Amino acid sequence: MHQVEATVNGATRRAEVSPETTLLSTLRDSWGLTGSKLGCDVGDCGACTVLVDGLSVNSCLLLAVQVNGREVVTIEGLGGFEYLHRLQTAFERLSSFQCGFCAPGMIISAKALLDENPAPTEPEIREALAGNLCRCTGYTKVIDAITEICRDRAVAVEAPA
Amino acid sequence: MPRKVTEEKQAEAQQLLEAPPATHLPAVAPDSLPKAPALTPEVNKQTPAVGQRVTRPDIRTHITGTTRYIDDLSFPGMLHVKILRSAHAHARILSINVDALHKMPGVVATLTGEEVPVNSFGSTYQDQPVLAVDRVRHRGDGIVAVAAETEQQALEALDAVKVDYEPLPAVFDPLEAMDPDAPKIHRIDNVYASKVIMRGDVDRGFEESDQIFERRYTTPMIEHVPLEPFAAIALWEPDGQLHVYSTNGRITLGRADLARTLSLPMNRIRLTATIIGGNFGGKNEIRTEPIVALLAKKSGRPVKAVYTRQEEFIASTTRHPLVMDYKTGIANDGRLLARSVKLVLDGGAYASWSETTVGKAAILAAGPYRIPNVRVEGRAVYTNKTVTGAMRGFGAPQVAFAYESQMDEIAYSLGIDPLEIRLLNGFEEGSISPTGQVLQAVALKETLLMAAKRSRWREGDL
């Protein structure tokens, strides 16, 4: 068994895991953070996407021991039920998801993109979300939501408060 | 003497109640949560539903990761199930040895088909075993289920199961499966469901036709691929009631099927459908529910089974592949005079929803066109492939691909606009379908014209 200690959504979390334990199952089973989903278990669907030191990763492919001493952000770290992140507000306004299973991973990937590039073009948005599959064909409204945020922010930057 | 509650304590308690929990759902939905609009339409008044932007009432939990799907549920002491699946597409099972399984680390209980009270299920014919006992008919057939402390232990334990097979000749092509000499997959004939629809005299229709178009169209097998894999959790209440959580989308039918396999009265079973991460028809019948129920009974603990992505492909249902032979007779001006259709549905190893699918495919096979003479023959056939069952449209998309392809071919051959041949032959108010239904509120041509206009189908007036 191995000791893992990481900063998860701003708080220090510890777990004792067997070597083959993935970050995803540690998040879900040891720390009760069930927002990240298991869809394919082979890194294709992106439902398990989280941020590790600011980079988006498939947590089903990363071993828990690999995040020792690092910083992890999951969907639970973005916004609470009453205090939404601006990305979540945009996704809610456009009802971008149907069954919702892909939503947490999709939103985390979008956050990783905007953290790195605050004004992405539509091809850049598509590229950044290429690793997140949606089976209910919700891509259009997902891309619309991110585009809307970028546009709103561009307006806000241009117009001094 | 009642305890005195100080004002301070009261305020503290109040604060605790009001504080929003960081990551959990509040006990009461806050006012800011979007709610479904009240729908109280007036009689004979059109509701303003079309063209409005609607915020989904369930979107807030989706975007915060707080929607509780089945895999987000867990119960104290819960075990995890993995299922050993067949190594052959078609084989006789000579022996199943699970002795070594019990010595594997973490293993608590095992299950074979012989332990299932009624080891068969199915939506139309009960021809599918919960766990195969003496024969496997496709690679997705489960043989042994094991419940262990962790998923990893259950997976590793399966290596300890020994199954001896005698491989049998398999058949993968539905047309070959119809041959009288083809390997028989069940005791009955490989053709297990059929539907014939006749209207007018199709032979005379062809004789009177100026031109005849013939072609074979085929469609492939398609898996639903919901992002959330199929899953079930079973726990027995202390009073002997069985409670099963499941991703099943048809819980009333599922409960009846589950009661049948377990030989339990239906009123002792509670089946709870959890919020589903995509269904598309693939979660419309029971799969692992009897297995988790029996393993929970044997172990005395809650039991959960989640399909792997591979199982989702091989051990769930898929969309029927179709072989469709179309023959259409027309007059030189483009009017359809006769159409005969032969459909062969690849049903896979078990019947599932094939009877429904062959019916719907046959009913719709001639297309939305006024054709005086129609003959449709549909057959569902067993093969040693993944089971085909319900999927959006039940056979309708496959035949639509065929008849619309043929309409295009006819139009191009005659040198007329594909839109015109549809307007010439399309259903109108009061048209009679091949099954004799008099159609009402038919807006086919208006819809086609609107679509052509909006998509700028051609230049000029439309």
The residue assigned the tokens 């896979």 is B348
Chain A residues in contact with B55 (beta carbon < 8 A): 92-93, 95
Domain containing residue B380: 175-223+318-454
User: What is the residue type of A111?
Assistant: K
Contact call for A76 and B22, based on CB within 8 A: yes
Q: How confident is the model at residue B51, as a pLDDT? A: 72
Picking from B33, B80, B227, B316 by the largest number of A CB atoms within 10 A of its own CB, the best residue to mutate is: B227
Q: What is the pLDDT of residues B28-51, one digit of tens each?
A: 555 666 555 555 556 666 666 677
Chain A residues in contact with B60 (beta carbon < 8 A): 81, 92
Backbone phi, then psi, for B359, in 5-degree steps? Answer: -65, -50
Chain B residues in contact with A82 (beta carbon < 8 A): 20, 26, 30, 32
Cβ-proximal residues to B461 (8 Å cutoff; 6+ apart), any chain:
none
From its phi and psi, is residue A9 left (phi > 0), alpha (psi between -120 and 50) or beta?
left
**A128 sits in which H/E element:** helix A122-128
- Max CA pair span of chain A: 56
Residue B187 lies in a domain: yes
Query: Which domains are delineated in chain A?
Result: 2-77 (3.10.20.30), 86-158 (1.10.150.120)
Q: How many domains does chain B have?
A: 1
- Which tokens belong to A112? 């990783």
Residue B44 lies in a domain: no
- Nearest in space to A152 (alpha carbons), one of A81, A83, A80, A89: A89
Residue B394 lies in a domain: yes
Q: What is the pLDDT of residues B118-143, one digit of tens each?
A: 999 998 899 999 999 999 999 999 99
Q: What is the pLDDT of residues B206-243, one digit of tens each?
A: 999 999 999 999 999 999 999 999 999 999 999 999 99
Q: Which residues lie across from B81 on neighbouring strands?
A: B147, B305
Identify the three-state secondary structure at position B398. helix
Q: What is the pLDDT of residues A5-14, one digit of tens each?
A: 999 999 999 9
B60 → chain A, closest CA residue: A92
Chain B (62-121) residues lying within 8 Å, Cβ to Cβ, of chain A: 62-69, 71-72, 74
Q: What is the pLDDT of residues A74-120, one digit of tens each?
A: 999 998 778 899 999 999 999 899 999 999 999 999 999 999 999 99
Cβ-proximal residues to B209 (8 Å cutoff; 6+ apart), any chain:
B329, B330, B331, B337, B338
pTM of structure = 0.89
Q: What is the pLDDT of residues B143-185, one digit of tens each?
A: 999 999 999 999 999 999 999 999 999 999 999 999 999 999 9
Which residue would you say has higher pLDDT here, B17 or B383?
B383
Chain B residues in contact with A91 (beta carbon < 8 A): 59, 63
Residue B24, pLDDT above cutoff 50: no
User: What is the residue type of B369?
Assistant: Y
In this complex, the residue of B59, B65, B306 whose CB is nearest that of residue A95 is B59
Q: How far is A97 from chain B (nearest CA, A)?
A: 7
Q: How confident is the model at residue B13, as a pLDDT? A: 60
CA torsion, points B396, B399, B404, B406, in degrees to nearest 10?
-170
What's the whole-number average pLDDT of chain A? 93
Alpha helices in B211-308 (DSSP H): 251-262, 289-299
Contact call for B23 and A100, based on CB within 8 A: no
Residue B132 lies in a domain: no
Residue A65, pLDDT above cutoff 70: yes
B306 → chain A, closest CA residue: A38
Identify the three-state secondary structure at position B324. strand
B223 → chain A, closest CA residue: A135
Identify the three-state secondary structure at position B135. strand
Contact A15, A29 (CB under 8 A): no
* Mean pLDDT confidence for B399-415: 98
Instruction: Supply the CATH number for residue B435's domain.
Output: 3.30.365.10
The residue assigned the tokens 């807030």 is B60
Which residue would you say has higher pLDDT here, A67 or B11?
A67
Picking from A16, A99, A141, A148 by the largest number of B CB atoms within 10 A of its own CB, the best residue to mutate is: A99
> Is the minimum CB–CB distance between B155 and chain A shorter than 8 Å?
no
A36 → chain B, closest CA residue: B65
The residue assigned the tokens 């005849």 is B212
In this complex, the residue of B22, B63, B228 whose CB is nearest that of residue A101 is B228
* Mean pLDDT confidence for B322-341: 98
- Which tokens belong to B279? 């269904």
> Is the minimum CB–CB distance between B278 and chain A shorter than 8 Å?
yes
Chain A residues within 8 A (CB-CB) of chain B?
18, 20, 28-29, 33-42, 45, 47, 74-76, 78-84, 88, 91-93, 95-104, 107, 133-136
Residue B323 lies in a domain: yes
Contact B361, B395 (CB under 8 A): yes
Q: How confident is the model at residue B32, as a pLDDT? A: 61
Residue B458: other Cβ atoms inside 10 A: 11
Contact B101, B262 (CB under 8 A): no
Contact B147, B83 (CB under 8 A): no
A103 → chain B, closest CA residue: B63
The residue assigned the tokens 């439902």 is A47
**B452 sits in which H/E element:** helix B444-454
Residue B295 lies in a domain: no
**Strand extents, DSSP E, B277-432:** 303-306, 318-319, 322-330, 336-348, 373-382
Q: Tell me the C-alpha distance between B133 and B439, whole Å.
A: 50
- Which tokens belong to B434? 């091949």
- Nearest in space to A15 (alpha carbons), one of A76, A72, A83: A72
- Banded model confidence at residue B14, pLDDT cuts 50, 70, 90: low
> Is the minimum CB–CB distance between B52 and chain A shorter than 8 Å?
no
Contact B421, B211 (CB under 8 A): no
